[in-house]
């Protein structure tokens, strides 16, 4: 099973990026989590380029197409979604592989609900499958800010493992009890 992790921050010491990396470290052996590092290379959205997208956009779309699910961890800037995440989503909005793609939303700062709510709205509009049982709010700011701290924390590592397990169950067409549901 393959999961793509997207951080909406380009900051070197980003908590959201650290969360994505910790997710890759803590994933069970049957789940591969790839942390996508190319969002900073994606040019500003231009609808005139949709028919022949720039290479960085093609790479992003291919990564989304070739994965079973996506984890999105994105900060809030001025009560909004980060520019890099909004730009990536604008390029993906007309991309067929995003439709019904399972997505786990991660909020690493509970007080930052504006961007989280807006991100949920945008993704719903894009017809992705937001997996509620795998979407988490984890208060990391000021406590666990690095990948090492997150992996070392029993509380945070358990949250990450539970998130990945819930996403894997959803991908397999089962709920948290293990019962099957129609896909």
Q: What pLDDT was estimated at residue 96?
A: 87
In 3D space, the residue among 90, 97, 85, 91 whose CA is nearest the CA of residue 52 turns out to be: 91
Q: What is the pLDDT of residues 39-60, one digit of tens each?
A: 999 999 999 999 999 999 999 9
Strand partners, 137: 107
Q: What is the pLDDT of residues 152-182, one digit of tens each?
A: 999 999 999 999 999 999 999 866 555 554 5
Average per-residue pLDDT for the chain: 93
Percent of the chain with pLDDT strictly greater than 70? 95
| Residue 12 Rama label (left phi>0; alpha psi -120 to 50; beta) | alpha
The three-point CA angle 45-17-150 to 5° equals 160
pTM over 0.85? The answer is yes
Burial (Cβ within 10 Å: 0-12, 13-18, ≥19) of residue 142:
exposed
Q: What is the pLDDT of residues 121-138, one digit of tens each?
A: 999 999 999 999 999 999
Burial of 105-120, coded b for 16+ CB within 10 Å and e otherwise, reads bbbbbeebeebbebbb
């Amino acid at each position: 099973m393959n999961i793509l992790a997207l951080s909406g921050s380009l900051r070197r010491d980003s908590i959201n990026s650290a969360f994505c990396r910790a997710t890759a470290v803590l994933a069970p052996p049957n789940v591969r989590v790839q942390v996508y590092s190319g969002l900073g290379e994606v040019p500003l959205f231009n609808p005139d380029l949709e028919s022949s997208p720039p290479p960085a956009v093609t790479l992003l779309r291919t990564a989304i197409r070739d994965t079973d699910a996506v984890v999105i961890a994105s900060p809030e800037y001025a009560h909004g979604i980060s520019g890099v995440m909004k730009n990536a989503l604008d390029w993906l909005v007309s991309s067929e592989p995003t439709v019904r793609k399972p997505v786990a939303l991660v909020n690493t700062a509970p007080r930052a609900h504006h961007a989280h709510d807006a991100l949920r709205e945008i993704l719903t509009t894009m017809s992705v499958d937001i997996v509620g049982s795998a979407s988490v709010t984890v208060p990391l700011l000021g406590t666990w800010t690095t990948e090492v701290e997150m992996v070392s924390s029993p509380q945070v590592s358990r949250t990450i493992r539970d998130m990945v397990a819930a996403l894997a169950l959803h991908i397999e067409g089962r709920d948290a009890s293990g019962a099957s549901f129609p896909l």
